[in-house]
Amino acid sequence: MGFGQPNTIGMTPSFDQNLPFRFIFIRKSNGIRPGELALPTFSDQEKSKDDHKEAFEADLEKHELPSWLSGLKPHKEHLGILQGLSCKMSENGHYSYSSVMGAFKSGRNSLSGIKRATADFELAKLSPSPFGHVELSLTGNYSSFRTGIVPGYSAPAAHQRNYCYADPQTAFDELFKSVVDPASVNSENRMLQFLESEEAYKVSAIQGYERLKLTNHISSIDAIRQRNREVAAHAELIQRHLPVLNPVHQDGGINASTPEKQEAMTDILIAALATRLTNVVTYTIDELSTPIRGLPGNESDRISIHELGHNGGYSGVPAEKIREKIRVGHIKQIAKIIEQLKQIPEGTGSMFDRTMIFYFPENGETHHSHGTEAPFIVLAGNASPINLAGRYLRLPYHATPEHKTLGNWYTTLLNAFGNPISHYGDLDLEMSRKKLTQIGPIHQLLT
């Protein structure tokens, strides 16, 4: 059973349209083991409950964070750790493709498997902007990074796959084109070329339902041309926040280290929000095929994230330590986003006041995941209507009474920001067999 499309007609948003909310989804590979988020200063009772997956709550102010999260200590009042969500209705194992953002089985990201607009696109409808939604990715083929404009993982609608910027220089050129290359704004830019060459040739070769799906995708070309014209009107703001990229990122950045690429993508992400070109960014910071090179302490190694998942170490450093170093690098980028958005005035506060950041495993609780747990780290500004900041919240375990799924989580976000949908996403089959309630938001998170 599934719940296809949130109702976006006739709704009354619960926030000032003049000051939009922003959403940053940061997807990581290889899972987040729930124990990696356990607080080191839990009491014996709290530790026992956490180990046994029993529902409870802890006040982050009274506890220390795991060492790999120490970069978020200055922002602890905004931090929430959400444990116990399940994601069995999405793809598990090595990859989730579009499914973790849409709460459905995606059929290894086939167009037929994309059942609905993903949650990030639904939130983008509630916070309109010229780009609507921006997707970034640092993915590769184990030995090298992808470059240019490539198929993404989010979805604007059923049977439509999003595109994404795969390297910092391409993202810079395409997002800030009205400043770096004004003459190209009204021309056929690389995005249009990608859509037309990647999709149009397929339409000529197929018929029927599959042809209809791709025709719908190509119809977005006219919308992109219109968007280019809108971007030109933001030229002054873009100039003010235009990021400066290291020359190492030219020509796809084939010689850039992974930390250098992450740093540059963070600068792009912040600028895209600061220039008001978008209010929603989805960023695949790594996947199993992303090459890891230049990692502090393992600078000379070419690290495979997939190999780490099978406990393969490098240069005498065990896999567990390298996995932690990778996460530390991710958290460093999240802290940078928070700090810089806090420095940009908006209304009576800063841009971060109306921003939420989600850091989560795209494939569940471990390398070969089953979807029983999908931990989320959430950073929320002061104006957020989601009541999670300052809390370590463990929900009831999968397929037990009051358990909550990924669909419940996305329903909570959509309801909180203006979409009163009864439920987003597919249902959990095991919970359905047990006749357990699973429709609706997580009420304890709604202020």
Predicted pLDDT of residue 21: 97
In the 8-state DSSP scheme, what is residue 72? G
Specify the pLDDT at position 219: 55
Domain segments of the chain: what residues? 22-126+256-271+280-445
Question: And the tokens for 98?
Answer: 């579009």
pTM score: 0.91
Answer whether 122's CB lies under 8 Å from 416's CB.
Answer: no
Given this model, what pLDDT does residue 343 score?
Answer: 97
CA–CA distance from 342 to each of 78, 138, 295 (Å)?
Answer: 12, 25, 28
CATH code 3.40.720 for 22-126+256-271+280-445 = yes
Question: What does the block give as tokens for 90?
Answer: 């999405």
CA pseudo-torsion sign 324, 326, 329, 333: negative
What is the rounded CA–CA span in Å between residue 121 and residue 251? 30
Q: Which one, of 383, 387, 386, lies nearest residue 350 by Cα?
A: 383
Cα 260 from Cα 294, distance rounded (Å): 9
Give CB contacts under 8 A, 24+ apart, made by 50-55: 50/83, 50/394, 53/84, 53/373, 53/394, 53/397, 54/394, 54/396, 54/397, 55/84, 55/394, 55/395, 55/396, 55/397, 55/402
pLDDT for 226 equals 75
Cβ burial of 306 (10 Å; 0-12, 13-18, 19+) is middle
Per-residue DSSP letters for 135-183?
Answer: EEE--BSSSSB--SEEE-S--SBTTB--EEE-SHHHHHHHHSHHHH-GG
- Residue 235's pLDDT is what? 84
Separation of alpha carbons 305 and 143, rounded Å: 11
Write down the pLDDT at residue 195: 65
User: How much is the pLDDT for 9?
Assistant: 31
Distance CA 306, CA 60 (A): 32
- What's residue 415's pLDDT? 98
Q: Name residue, tokens 């025709």.
A: 215
> With a cut of 50, which residues of the chain have pLDDT below it?
1-15, 187-188, 201-214, 217
